[in-house]
A and B are shown apart, each in its own frame.
Chain A
Amino acid sequence: MGEVSLIDVSKRFVLQVGNETQTVQALSRVSFTVRDSEIVSLIGPSGCGKTTALRIAMGLELASSGRVTVDGREVKGCGHDRGMVFQHAELLPWLTAIENVMFGLEMKGMRGAELRSTAERYLDLVGLGASKNRRPHQLSGGMQQRVGIARALAIDPKVLLMDEPFGALDAQTRETMQEELLQIHGRTGKTILFVTHDLDEAVLIADRIVIMREGRIQEILHVPLPRPRGDLGVARGTREFAETRYHVWKALHAAPGTSSVH
């Protein structure tokens, strides 16, 4: 099982701007659930609170009010039940690829021969077995992010939380990574919450899309594309893709305050 829910989550930031303090309402009563084995993408313009929502789900930030539950149990702070994939991979630059994966496993308490073999297995899963002894700066951006994914997957979390993981990659690498992510999802069945600002990506990857605006959920919609999606180039050519993409596009360009939940 792996189900993560945000329940009535609000978040206020206090900013010091010059001499005055400003309160920013980053999230207002956001509630949604990512069901077991489901991929949900969280999309919206920058500043809409999507990354804040993900960081609260991970426990890197605390909600001002509301709760986060994993499989129905409330969680406070970070936990091994959730694995985080960061926007810029955030590998530790002094460790090799395999050592980076091992770091996460060690924090979970794994020791000995199992540690290395598990890390190797997950590097193989993301197709980096041959580069396991390279340091991050000896890897391309896409390879770095693969290590980031392997590091998060290796601890076998119930939920994978991904913060615009392919946003910094070039278009071609991004498409490859999207396909690989779906393949990994097919094999592992992980529940994934995926933050993106890329419309195509949101539709291609997800089972459902949560559209956010100004700290609120504007719309949640189902993506009618079948699984497995196989060649994403083919999926792009389907009518379902075009219609869903257009729907999301319209929602993102709609006037504020017109929200509906399907």
Chain B
Amino acid sequence: MTELVDSKAETQERDASGVRRGVPRWAITLASVGVLTLLWEWFGRDINPVFGSYPSAIAAAFWDLIQSGKLQAATLESLQPFAVGYALAILLGVPLGLVIGRYRVVQAALGIYVTAGYAMPLVALVPLLVLWLGLGFAVKAAVVFLMSVFPICINTWLGVAAVPKSLIEVGKSFVAPNTVILRRIILPATLPYIMAGIRLAVGRAVVAMVIAEFFTTISGLGAIIINSANNFDTATMFVPIVVLMIMAIGLNGLIGVIERKVAPWQAEIAGRDRE
């Protein structure tokens, strides 16, 4: 009986010392965002509204844009080339990274373009792309694709290079053909890297989308940014920027959920315990 009491006391003690760890992560994030918003509000109000803005003004502008339906329409318009370009980047970048990582010849032949392409100053090339693809949907999807395909491809390639030789030897020792080794050993072993590349590409794809909307037909969320900036309506200009950042965060979270679905063993192996 005394033993029982003792062990209970011990558990409580551990709980007490573990309070800091017990605070859920979302609460910490929320508190961080809250403090930053308050600070911004506090100092932002003192600045000339042409040179800066502050959360409550941005919220008011947000509400106006929602009520007029402009924000929804612009978001929808932006999302379409974004989705197409980003999806194409995944569909092409992953297989390309796999074969570059796996086959010496392909690496020697194509690796150099991928490395160079990652550093390509895409903004400078947009006028050329306009000449090729016009000013419409295609060129916007192409810009998003070109910005996001390289990080996905490079990460996949690095992932393949990091696959333990011993796992490939398992395939070899059971006489697995090369295609089976690629599909059933290298691809799943590389999945965490692929997902990391897909995540990295989100940010670049969002930037690419806005660049495309600035430099081709002015449209979508990019158009709201440009037009309100031209009218010195800084608060309204911030609305699409905030929307885009929130979208990127949401997409990142979604990819995280998908990752745990397609590669559950990874989270289990790595463990979620962190200081």
Give A contacts to B, CB under 8 Å.
58-60, 78-80, 82-84, 86, 88, 90, 92-94, 103-104, 107-108, 135, 137-138, 155
Contact = CB atoms under 8 A, between A and B. Distances in A.
Interface centre among A78, A80, A107, A108 (most CB of B within 10 A): A107
B73 to A, nearest CB: 43
A137 B269 contact: yes
A60 B173 contact: yes
Given A78-B174, A92-B170, A103-B184, 17 more contacts: A59-B173, A60-B169, A78-B172, A78-B173, A82-B173, A84-B173, A86-B166, A86-B170, A88-B166, A92-B167, A92-B188, A93-B269, A94-B188, A108-B174, A135-B268, A137-B268, A137-B269
Contacts of A92: 167, 170, 184-185, 188
A84 B180 CA distance: 18
21 contacts: A60-B169, A78-B172, A78-B174, A78-B175, A83-B173, A86-B170, A88-B166, A90-B166, A90-B167, A90-B169, A92-B185, A94-B188, A94-B263, A103-B174, A103-B184, A107-B171, A107-B175, A107-B176, A107-B180, A135-B265, A135-B268
A135 B268 CA distance: 10
Contacts of A83: 173
A83 B170 CA distance: 10
Contacts, number: 52
A79 B167 contact: no
A139 to B, nearest CB: 12
Interface of B: 166-167, 169-176, 180, 184-185, 188-189, 191, 263, 265, 268-269
A79 B175 contact: yes
The 5 A-B pairs with the shortest beta carbon distances in the complex, nearest first, are: A107-B174, A84-B173, A94-B188, A104-B174, A107-B176
A60 B268 contact: no
B154 to A, nearest CB: 23
Contacts of A137: 265, 268-269
Interface of B is mostly: helix
Nearest to A100: B170
Nearest to A60: B169
Contacts of B173: 58-60, 78, 82-84
Contacts of B188: 92, 94
A94 B265 contact: yes
Given A78-B175, A80-B175, A107-B176, A90 B170 contact: yes
Contacts of B185: 92
Nearest to B169: A60
A93 B166 CA distance: 12
A98 to B, nearest CB: 15
A121 B167 CA distance: 24
Contacts of A138: 268
A260 B189 CA distance: 47
Contacts of B269: 93, 137
A226 B171 CA distance: 37
A68 B200 CA distance: 49
Contacts of A58: 173
Contacts of A88: 166
Contacts of B184: 92, 103
Nearest to A84: B173
B182 to A, nearest CB: 14
Nearest to A80: B175
B87 to A, nearest CB: 24
Contacts of B265: 93-94, 135, 137
A155 B174 contact: yes
User: Which residue among A79, A93, A94 has the maximum number of chain B CB atoms within 10 Å of its CB?
Assistant: A94
A84 B168 CA distance: 13
Contacts of B263: 94
A244 to B, nearest CB: 31
Contacts of B172: 60, 78
B264 to A, nearest CB: 8
A198 B263 CA distance: 38
B195 to A, nearest CB: 13
A45 to B, nearest CB: 22
Contacts of B176: 107
The listed residue with most A CB atoms (<10 A of its CB), out of B171, B174, B176, B265, is: B174
Nearest to B177: A107
Contacts of B268: 135, 137-138
Contacts of A79: 175
A105 to B, nearest CB: 9
A27 to B, nearest CB: 19
Contacts of B189: 94
B166 to A, nearest CB: 5
Contacts of A94: 188-189, 191, 263, 265
A135 B166 CA distance: 18
